[in-house]
Protein backbone atom coordinates (compact mmCIF):
# COMPACT_ATOMS: atom_id res chain seq x y z
CA UNK A 1 0.00 0.00 0.00
CA UNK A 2 2.84 2.37 0.91
CA UNK A 3 4.54 1.56 -2.41
CA UNK A 4 1.34 2.39 -4.34
CA UNK A 5 1.02 5.69 -2.53
CA UNK A 6 4.66 6.51 -3.31
CA UNK A 7 4.07 5.81 -7.00
CA UNK A 8 0.96 8.00 -7.04
CA UNK A 9 2.87 10.83 -5.37
CA UNK A 10 5.73 10.49 -7.86
CA UNK A 11 3.36 10.54 -10.85
CA UNK A 12 1.61 13.53 -9.38
CA UNK A 13 4.90 15.37 -9.05
CA UNK A 14 5.71 14.62 -12.68
CA UNK A 15 2.32 15.95 -13.72
CA UNK A 16 2.84 19.12 -11.69
CA UNK A 17 6.29 19.58 -13.21
CA UNK A 18 4.88 19.18 -16.73
CA UNK A 19 2.20 21.75 -15.93
CA UNK A 20 4.81 24.12 -14.52
CA UNK A 21 6.92 23.82 -17.66
CA UNK A 22 3.94 24.46 -19.93
CA UNK A 23 3.77 27.96 -21.38
CA UNK A 24 0.64 29.66 -20.11
CA UNK A 25 -0.42 31.23 -23.41
CA UNK A 26 -0.93 27.80 -24.98
CA UNK A 27 -4.05 27.40 -22.84
CA UNK A 28 -5.60 30.72 -23.83
CA UNK A 29 -8.30 30.52 -26.54
CA UNK A 30 -6.84 33.78 -27.90
CA UNK A 31 -4.24 36.25 -26.60
CA UNK A 32 -6.05 38.58 -24.21
CA UNK A 33 -3.53 41.39 -23.96
CA UNK A 34 -0.41 42.94 -25.40
CA UNK A 35 1.55 41.11 -22.71
CA UNK A 36 0.26 37.78 -24.03
CA UNK A 37 1.41 38.67 -27.55
CA UNK A 38 4.80 39.74 -26.23
CA UNK A 39 5.15 36.46 -24.34
CA UNK A 40 4.48 34.49 -27.54
CA UNK A 41 6.94 36.64 -29.45
CA UNK A 42 9.65 36.34 -26.82
CA UNK A 43 9.25 32.57 -26.60
CA UNK A 44 9.78 32.19 -30.34
CA UNK A 45 12.62 34.69 -30.57
CA UNK A 46 14.52 33.05 -27.70
CA UNK A 47 14.65 29.77 -29.65
CA UNK A 48 14.71 31.02 -33.24
CA UNK A 49 18.46 31.45 -33.75
CA UNK A 50 19.27 27.89 -32.66
CA UNK A 51 16.39 26.49 -34.69
CA UNK A 52 17.50 28.33 -37.84
CA UNK A 53 21.08 27.06 -37.55
CA UNK A 54 19.82 23.45 -37.49
CA UNK A 55 17.35 23.87 -40.39
CA UNK A 56 18.91 22.84 -43.70
CA UNK A 57 18.14 22.86 -47.39
CA UNK A 58 18.36 19.44 -49.06
CA UNK A 59 19.35 19.26 -52.72
CA UNK A 60 18.74 15.89 -54.36
CA UNK A 61 19.20 15.75 -58.12
CA UNK A 62 17.21 18.65 -59.54
CA UNK A 63 14.86 18.79 -56.55
CA UNK A 64 15.03 20.71 -53.30
CA UNK A 65 13.46 20.37 -49.88
CA UNK A 66 14.18 21.04 -46.22
CA UNK A 67 15.25 19.11 -43.14
CA UNK A 68 16.42 19.59 -39.57
CA UNK A 69 19.55 18.30 -37.81
CA UNK A 70 18.76 16.50 -34.55
CA UNK A 71 22.20 15.25 -33.46
CA UNK A 72 25.74 16.68 -33.39
CA UNK A 73 26.78 13.77 -35.64
CA UNK A 74 24.52 15.06 -38.42
CA UNK A 75 21.34 12.95 -38.26
CA UNK A 76 18.62 14.78 -40.19
CA UNK A 77 14.84 14.35 -40.10
CA UNK A 78 12.94 15.11 -43.30
CA UNK A 79 10.05 13.84 -45.45
CA UNK A 80 10.04 10.63 -47.48
CA UNK A 81 8.78 12.40 -50.59
CA UNK A 82 11.84 14.68 -50.35
CA UNK A 83 14.48 11.93 -50.25
CA UNK A 84 12.48 9.74 -52.64
CA UNK A 85 14.47 6.63 -51.80
CA UNK A 86 17.24 5.01 -49.78
CA UNK A 87 20.94 5.59 -50.40
CA UNK A 88 20.40 8.80 -52.37
CA UNK A 89 23.26 11.30 -52.48
CA UNK A 90 22.21 14.57 -50.84
CA UNK A 91 23.80 18.02 -50.68
CA UNK A 92 23.01 19.54 -47.29
CA UNK A 93 23.11 23.35 -47.30
CA UNK A 94 23.43 25.15 -43.97
CA UNK A 95 21.90 28.54 -43.17
CA UNK A 96 25.16 30.35 -44.08
CA UNK A 97 25.52 28.51 -47.40
CA UNK A 98 28.10 25.94 -46.27
CA UNK A 99 27.56 22.67 -48.11
CA UNK A 100 28.03 19.15 -46.79
CA UNK A 101 27.48 15.77 -48.39
CA UNK A 102 24.97 13.29 -47.05
CA UNK A 103 23.09 10.11 -47.87
CA UNK A 104 19.43 9.25 -47.34
CA UNK A 105 18.69 6.53 -44.80
CA UNK A 106 15.33 4.84 -44.20
CA UNK A 107 11.83 6.10 -44.91
CA UNK A 108 8.20 5.35 -44.18
CA UNK A 109 6.17 5.41 -47.38
CA UNK A 110 2.89 5.42 -45.46
CA UNK A 111 3.48 8.39 -43.14
CA UNK A 112 6.10 10.41 -45.11
CA UNK A 113 8.83 10.16 -42.44
CA UNK A 114 12.47 9.88 -43.53
CA UNK A 115 16.02 10.24 -42.22
CA UNK A 116 19.36 11.08 -43.74
CA UNK A 117 22.92 11.34 -42.44
CA UNK A 118 25.54 13.97 -43.17
CA UNK A 119 28.62 11.99 -44.16
CA UNK A 120 31.13 14.83 -43.68
CA UNK A 121 32.70 15.30 -40.27
CA UNK A 122 30.86 17.23 -37.56
CA UNK A 123 29.93 18.35 -35.03
CA UNK A 124 26.88 20.12 -36.43
CA UNK A 125 24.34 22.52 -34.90
CA UNK A 126 21.26 20.59 -33.82
CA UNK A 127 17.97 20.90 -31.96
CA UNK A 128 16.18 18.70 -29.47
CA UNK A 129 13.00 16.75 -30.18
CA UNK A 130 9.87 16.62 -28.05
CA UNK A 131 10.25 12.92 -27.30
CA UNK A 132 7.50 13.01 -24.66
CA UNK A 133 4.86 14.18 -27.14
CA UNK A 134 3.74 17.01 -24.84
CA UNK A 135 2.14 19.27 -27.45
CA UNK A 136 -1.63 19.66 -27.33
CA UNK A 137 -4.28 20.79 -29.77
CA UNK A 138 -4.35 24.60 -29.89
CA UNK A 139 -0.70 25.05 -28.86
CA UNK A 140 1.32 27.79 -30.49
CA UNK A 141 3.97 26.55 -32.94
CA UNK A 142 6.38 27.94 -35.51
CA UNK A 143 7.65 26.45 -38.74
CA UNK A 144 10.92 26.88 -40.64
CA UNK A 145 11.86 25.92 -44.18
CA UNK A 146 13.72 26.88 -47.33
CA UNK A 147 10.65 27.94 -49.28
CA UNK A 148 11.36 27.73 -53.01
CA UNK A 149 14.91 26.47 -52.39
CA UNK A 150 18.01 27.95 -50.76
CA UNK A 151 18.30 31.72 -50.88
CA UNK A 152 21.01 33.21 -48.67
CA UNK A 153 19.84 36.79 -49.15
CA UNK A 154 16.26 35.96 -48.13
CA UNK A 155 17.15 33.47 -45.42
CA UNK A 156 14.95 30.80 -43.87
CA UNK A 157 11.23 31.56 -43.83
CA UNK A 158 9.60 31.68 -40.40
CA UNK A 159 5.86 31.26 -39.86
CA UNK A 160 3.88 31.18 -36.64
CA UNK A 161 0.54 29.51 -35.96
CA UNK A 162 -1.31 26.97 -33.84
CA UNK A 163 -2.06 23.27 -33.98
CA UNK A 164 -5.57 22.99 -35.38
CA UNK A 165 -6.02 19.25 -35.81
CA UNK A 166 -4.49 15.97 -34.62
CA UNK A 167 -4.79 12.49 -36.11
CA UNK A 168 -2.93 9.24 -35.53
CA UNK A 169 -0.22 9.82 -38.15
CA UNK A 170 -0.71 13.51 -38.95
CA UNK A 171 -0.88 16.84 -37.20
CA UNK A 172 -2.13 20.01 -38.84
CA UNK A 173 -1.20 23.63 -38.25
CA UNK A 174 -2.25 26.91 -39.79
CA UNK A 175 1.37 27.85 -40.60
CA UNK A 176 1.51 28.67 -44.30
CA UNK A 177 3.75 26.27 -46.27
CA UNK A 178 4.80 26.33 -49.92
CA UNK A 179 7.09 24.33 -52.21
CA UNK A 180 10.57 23.82 -50.76
CA UNK A 181 9.29 23.74 -47.18
CA UNK A 182 8.62 19.99 -47.37
CA UNK A 183 10.74 18.10 -44.86
CA UNK A 184 11.32 21.17 -42.72
CA UNK A 185 10.67 21.32 -38.97
CA UNK A 186 7.65 22.34 -36.93
CA UNK A 187 8.65 23.57 -33.45
CA UNK A 188 6.83 24.10 -30.20
CA UNK A 189 7.50 27.38 -28.41
CA UNK A 190 10.31 25.86 -26.34
CA UNK A 191 12.27 25.23 -29.53
CA UNK A 192 11.77 21.45 -29.70
CA UNK A 193 10.88 19.65 -32.92
CA UNK A 194 7.34 18.26 -32.82
CA UNK A 195 6.83 17.43 -36.49
CA UNK A 196 8.10 17.51 -40.07
CA UNK A 197 6.33 19.32 -42.91
CA UNK A 198 4.62 16.85 -45.21
CA UNK A 199 2.07 18.56 -47.46
CA UNK A 200 -0.24 21.50 -47.93
CA UNK A 201 -4.01 21.04 -47.53
CA UNK A 202 -6.88 22.56 -49.48
CA UNK A 203 -5.44 25.99 -48.71
CA UNK A 204 -1.93 27.09 -47.79
CA UNK A 205 -3.16 27.73 -44.25
CA UNK A 206 -3.92 24.00 -43.82
CA UNK A 207 -0.47 22.48 -43.48
CA UNK A 208 0.08 18.80 -42.69
CA UNK A 209 3.04 17.53 -40.67
CA UNK A 210 4.40 14.13 -39.69
CA UNK A 211 4.33 14.06 -35.85
CA UNK A 212 7.58 13.19 -34.11
CA UNK A 213 5.94 10.12 -32.56
CA UNK A 214 5.82 8.56 -36.05
CA UNK A 215 9.59 8.90 -36.30
CA UNK A 216 10.03 7.46 -32.81
CA UNK A 217 7.86 4.44 -33.63
CA UNK A 218 10.29 3.39 -36.38
CA UNK A 219 13.49 5.18 -35.30
CA UNK A 220 15.78 2.13 -35.39
CA UNK A 221 14.40 0.97 -38.75
CA UNK A 222 14.89 4.40 -40.30
CA UNK A 223 18.45 4.63 -38.98
CA UNK A 224 19.19 1.18 -40.46
CA UNK A 225 17.99 2.39 -43.89
CA UNK A 226 14.90 0.21 -43.98
CA UNK A 227 12.00 0.85 -46.33
CA UNK A 228 8.98 0.92 -44.00
CA UNK A 229 5.33 0.58 -45.01
CA UNK A 230 3.51 1.01 -48.27
CA UNK A 231 1.97 4.29 -49.30
CA UNK A 232 1.94 7.27 -51.62
CA UNK A 233 5.07 9.05 -50.41
CA UNK A 234 7.76 6.75 -51.84
CA UNK A 235 7.89 3.91 -54.33
CA UNK A 236 9.54 0.72 -53.18
CA UNK A 237 12.04 -0.57 -55.75
CA UNK A 238 10.78 -3.60 -57.68
CA UNK A 239 13.47 -6.33 -57.84
CA UNK A 240 14.71 -6.82 -61.38
CA UNK A 241 13.39 -3.50 -62.67
CA UNK A 242 16.75 -1.70 -62.56
CA UNK A 243 18.37 -0.83 -65.89
CA UNK A 244 22.17 -0.66 -66.22
CA UNK A 245 22.38 0.01 -69.96
CA UNK A 246 25.36 -2.20 -70.71
CA UNK A 247 25.99 -5.37 -72.75
CA UNK A 248 28.99 -7.54 -71.92
CA UNK A 249 30.67 -10.77 -72.99
CA UNK A 250 33.19 -13.07 -71.36
CA UNK A 251 36.72 -11.79 -71.91
CA UNK A 252 38.96 -14.17 -73.86
CA UNK A 253 42.14 -12.50 -72.61
CA UNK A 254 41.65 -11.74 -68.91
CA UNK A 255 39.24 -12.64 -66.14
CA UNK A 256 36.21 -10.41 -66.28
CA UNK A 257 33.54 -9.15 -68.66
CA UNK A 258 34.29 -7.07 -71.75
CA UNK A 259 31.84 -4.21 -72.46
CA UNK A 260 30.51 -4.56 -76.00
CA UNK A 261 27.70 -2.02 -76.11
CA UNK A 262 26.37 0.91 -74.04
CA UNK A 263 22.95 2.54 -73.98
CA UNK A 264 23.39 6.20 -74.88
CA UNK A 265 23.16 8.33 -71.71
CA UNK A 266 22.37 5.19 -69.74
CA UNK A 267 23.58 4.59 -66.16
CA UNK A 268 26.77 2.75 -67.18
CA UNK A 269 27.78 5.40 -69.70
CA UNK A 270 27.05 8.22 -67.24
CA UNK A 271 29.26 6.45 -64.69
CA UNK A 272 32.18 6.66 -67.11
CA UNK A 273 32.22 3.09 -68.41
CA UNK A 274 33.26 2.82 -72.08
CA UNK A 275 32.94 0.19 -74.80
CA UNK A 276 35.98 -2.06 -74.55
CA UNK A 277 36.44 -1.60 -70.80
CA UNK A 278 36.88 -4.71 -68.67
CA UNK A 279 34.48 -5.26 -65.77
CA UNK A 280 36.56 -6.79 -62.97
CA UNK A 281 34.13 -7.01 -60.04
CA UNK A 282 30.41 -6.77 -59.30
CA UNK A 283 29.48 -6.04 -55.68
CA UNK A 284 32.96 -7.12 -54.58
CA UNK A 285 32.87 -10.48 -56.36
CA UNK A 286 34.76 -11.52 -59.49
CA UNK A 287 32.71 -10.39 -62.48
CA UNK A 288 30.87 -13.17 -64.31
CA UNK A 289 27.76 -13.21 -66.47
CA UNK A 290 25.94 -15.18 -63.79
CA UNK A 291 26.88 -12.80 -60.95
CA UNK A 292 25.93 -9.70 -62.94
CA UNK A 293 22.59 -11.18 -63.96
CA UNK A 294 21.68 -12.41 -60.46
CA UNK A 295 22.69 -9.09 -58.85
CA UNK A 296 20.61 -7.06 -61.30
CA UNK A 297 17.71 -9.45 -60.69
CA UNK A 298 17.64 -8.36 -57.04
CA UNK A 299 17.84 -4.61 -57.64
CA UNK A 300 15.23 -2.10 -58.72
CA UNK A 301 15.26 1.30 -60.35
CA UNK A 302 16.89 3.87 -58.08
CA UNK A 303 19.10 1.34 -56.32
CA UNK A 304 22.85 1.11 -56.83
CA UNK A 305 25.24 -1.59 -58.01
CA UNK A 306 28.95 -1.50 -57.15
CA UNK A 307 31.12 -2.06 -60.22
CA UNK A 308 34.89 -2.16 -60.55
CA UNK A 309 36.36 -1.85 -64.04
CA UNK A 310 39.49 -0.99 -65.92
CA UNK A 311 40.05 0.96 -69.11
CA UNK A 312 43.65 0.96 -70.29
CA UNK A 313 45.91 1.54 -67.28
CA UNK A 314 43.25 3.13 -65.07
CA UNK A 315 41.06 1.13 -62.66
CA UNK A 316 37.88 2.62 -61.24
CA UNK A 317 35.23 1.55 -58.74
CA UNK A 318 31.85 3.23 -58.44
CA UNK A 319 28.29 2.70 -57.28
CA UNK A 320 26.14 3.02 -60.39
CA UNK A 321 22.55 4.13 -59.85
CA UNK A 322 20.12 2.02 -61.85
CA UNK A 323 17.28 3.64 -63.80
CA UNK A 324 13.92 2.63 -65.22
CA UNK A 325 14.01 0.45 -68.28
CA UNK A 326 13.44 2.49 -71.47
Burial class of residue 8 in the structure, from the number of CB atoms within 10 Å of its CB (0-12 exposed, 13-18 middle, 19+ buried): exposed
pLDDT for 18 equals 46
The answer on 79 and 174 residing in a single domain is yes
- How far apart CA 57 and CA 154 sit, in angstroms, is 13
Quick one: average pLDDT of 250-257? 88
Please report whether residue 326 resides in a domain.
no
Residue 132 and residue 36 share a domain: yes
Residue 277 and residue 218 share a domain: no
Read off the CATH number of the domain in which 177 is found: 2.40.10.120
Is residue 12 a part of any domain in this protein?
Answer: no
Q: What's the pLDDT score for residue 10?
A: 45
DSSP 67-79: EEE-STT-EEEEE
CB atoms within 10 A of CB 110: 17
How many Å apart are CA 62 and CA 135, to the nearest integer? 35
Residues 145 and 260 in one domain: no
- Whether 298 is in a domain gets the answer yes
pTM reported for the whole predicted model: 0.80
For residue 187, CA distances in Å to 115, 132, 252 come to: 18, 14, 63
Mind listing the pLDDT tens digit for each residue in 125-182? Answer: 999 999 999 999 999 999 999 998 999 989 999 999 999 999 989 999 999 988 889 9
Question: Over the stretch 188-237, which tens digit does the pLDDT of each residue have?
Answer: 999 999 999 998 755 656 799 999 999 999 999 999 999 999 999 988 88
Query: Domain for residue 313, yes or no?
Result: yes
Say whether both 108 and 29 belong to one domain.
yes
- Print the domain residue range for 275: 246-321
Residue 7's pLDDT is what? 46
What is the rounded CA–CA span in Å between residue 219 and residue 223? 6
Residue 102 has pLDDT above 80, yes or no: yes
Region 48-76: mean pLDDT is 96
Amino acid sequence: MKLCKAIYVFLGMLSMQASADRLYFNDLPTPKSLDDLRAIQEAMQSNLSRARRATVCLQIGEGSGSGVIVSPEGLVLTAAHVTGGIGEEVTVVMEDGTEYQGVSLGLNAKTDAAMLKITDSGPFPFVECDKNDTTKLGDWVFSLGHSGGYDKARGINVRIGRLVREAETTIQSDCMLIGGDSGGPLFDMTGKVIGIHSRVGASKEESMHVPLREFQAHWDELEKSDFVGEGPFAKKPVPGSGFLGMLVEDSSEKKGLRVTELWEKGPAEKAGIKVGDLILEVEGGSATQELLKSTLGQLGSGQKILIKWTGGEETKEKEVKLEDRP
